[in-house]
Chains A and B, each alone.
Chain A
Amino acid sequence: MGVEEGVYKAKTGLPLWMLGLGADLLWADMNRLLGFLFHQGVLDEQFLQLQQLQDDTSPNFVSEVVNIYFHESEKLLRNLRALLMEREFSDYKKMGSHLNQFMGSSSSIGAKRVRNVCVAFRAATEHNNRAGCLRALEMLEHEYCYLKNKLHELFQIEQQRALAAGVRYPAPVQN
């Protein structure tokens, strides 16, 4: 065993060959989750587009964009619910406007299922169908929640992988 290997083993308690295993397993987990989300239609190729835009100058681009999406979406969902809960609700045009925003953002990040529910919701507003709108809102809230949980899971795995990859290639000990 070389000097550096001995030092790494002393610091982590693990042999050097095992330190990289965590990162590889997490990478596989990440790809499995992404594959699942694509297969289920939760995400589409636009999400890959975001990943391709991430680079050394913007290493957190995807999570920054997704966090903006979460912030904007929750505001829109609150507005939609507030509108529908109004006793004398009749502003379907305003509801349609919120939905256009939601649709635009969702398609920009590849949130395919959320976008599709927005399309159905918008159809209900165009028919002034309040009951239909309420049903669509519940579906939208459900889909959005599911997407948010899955994306958080994805980012958590990515974070753990980055940490594990950092352990795999620690800085050499300076004498």
Chain B
Amino acid sequence: MAHEKMRTKLTALVVDDNKLNRKIHEKMLESFGVKSEGVENGREAVDIHCRGHRFDLILMDMDMPVMNGIEATKELRLMGIGSIIVGVSSRCTEAEIRKFMDAGLNDYHEKPFNTAKLSSILDNI
């Protein structure tokens, strides 16, 4: 019960250019009591932090227009953002995952994202 109460205080940012993925991921977060917002690309993710918003968890897609997930993650870390950033992408070569992780991710999950993966992430926050 205390675990669930703690989860209900968490906030998350979903960064994905795909509207469908944003809707699904936000609904998954809601099912765990996590309040979330969605943005369409890495630039918007950086901008929302520049405006002073902070999130406990950031779900970051890799391939996005304007600014991709790798660039956005690097920039957020340079800004001193210490949030848990989890890469979520359909890319699956080891080299691509390594490149994404090296940008500053805490974790990476291959799409499709599901509640089991989300639960394992939230357990570590």
Contacts and interface: CB of A to CB of B under 8 A. Distances in A.
Interface of A: 46, 49-50, 52-53, 55, 58, 61, 64-65, 68-69, 72, 97, 100-101, 103-105, 107-110
A107 B23 CA distance: 14
Nearest to B114: A49
Interface stretch (B24-32, B37-45, B101-109): B24-32
A130 to B, nearest CB: 23
B18 interface: yes
B49 interface: no
B21 A104 contact: yes
Given A53-B27, A103-B90, A104-B90, A68 B19 contact: yes
- Most B CB contacts (10 A, CB to CB) among A58, A72, A108, A109 go to A108
Contacts, number: 52
B63 interface: yes
A50 B20 contact: no
Given A55-B31, A108-B24, 4 more contacts: A53-B27, A104-B21, A108-B20, A108-B21
B112 interface: yes
B115 interface: yes
A52 to B, nearest CB: 7
A42 to B, nearest CB: 16
Contacts of B98: none
Interface in B82-102: 90
Contacts of A107: 90, 111-112
Interface of B: 17-21, 23-24, 27-28, 31, 63, 90, 111-115
Given A52-B115, A53-B31, A107-B111, A69 B24 contact: no
A110 B114 CA distance: 11
- Most B CB contacts (10 A, CB to CB) among A46, A55, A72, A104 go to A104
A100 B63 contact: yes
B20 A109 contact: yes
Contacts of A55: 31
A50 B111 contact: no
8 contacts: A53-B115, A61-B27, A64-B23, A100-B63, A101-B18, A107-B90, A108-B20, A108-B113
> Which 7 pairs of residues, A with B, have the shortest CB-CB distance?
A107-B112, A68-B20, A46-B112, A104-B90, A53-B27, A108-B112, A49-B114
Nearest to B113: A108
B42 to A, nearest CB: 16
A104 B18 contact: yes
A22 to B, nearest CB: 31
A108 B111 contact: yes
